[in-house]
Structure 1
Amino acid sequence: MSYSGPPYQSGPPPANDSNTLSIVGIVLGTIAFIFCPPGFGIAGIICGVVAKSKQERLAPTAIGVSIAGLVLGTVLGVLVFRGMYGG
């Protein structure tokens, strides 16, 4: 007599309950808006992408905020630099 268990069902892995990397990415993206956009912006994007690979719920928000912080922080820096040095 053979035992037949329930059929094996393959599906997507469950979403990660932790949002730690996503929150770190959001914070880094926010800091990038005011202070050192290339450094903090790129670090925030990396945290967001890693969080997305771990299927964290807030990962797309972290990526968006980091990209916005990088772009807007760079534009703000250029405008402030031009205003200070008249270039």
Structure 2
Amino acid sequence: MTSPHDPPPGDDRYTQQGQWSQQQPPYPQPQAQSTPVLSIIGFICAAVALLFIPLLFGIAGIVLGIVGHTRGETLGKWAAIASAVTMIAGMVLGYLVLTSMS
């Protein structure tokens, strides 16, 4: 007869000494939320791309947003979209300024 503290048959967490081993459960543990650093930098690049070197800062913001999104940052997708929009708007604004000056 088995006691109620015995493991079920075939359970591999039961050691030879008759005690339960301290293995981690097979499912992932929830992790603490971290600050979305890459997404924040992507939004900063988006703001800068509107007025200064839109092609450089726009592409940098898009890349940072995509990398942030693949790392699990929820704002990464929006940082990439905002960077693309402000890159195009900055290029149009630069074109309008240059054509009005000549």
TM-score (normalised: structure 2)? 0.70
Count of residues paired in the alignment: 83
Counterpart of 1:40 in structure 2 is: 57
| Higher gyration radius (CA) | 2
5+ residue gaps, structure 1 = none
Counterpart amino acid of residue 17 in structure 1? S
Counterpart of 2:11 in structure 1 is: 3
State the superposition RMSD in angstroms: 2.6
Task: Specify which structure has the bigger relative contact order, considering alpha-carbon pairs within 8 angstroms and separated by 6 or more residues.
Answer: 1
Moved beyond 4 Å, runs of 4+? 7-10, 13-16
For each residue in 1:32-57, what CA deviation from the matched residue of structure 2 results, as whole angstroms up to 9, or x when unmatched?
00110001000000100100110101
5+ residue gaps, structure 2 = 1-8, 14-24
Distance 2:26 2:84 in 1: 41
Counterpart amino acid of residue 84 in structure 2? I
Distance 2:87 2:32 in 1: 28
Greater helix percent: which structure? Answer: 1
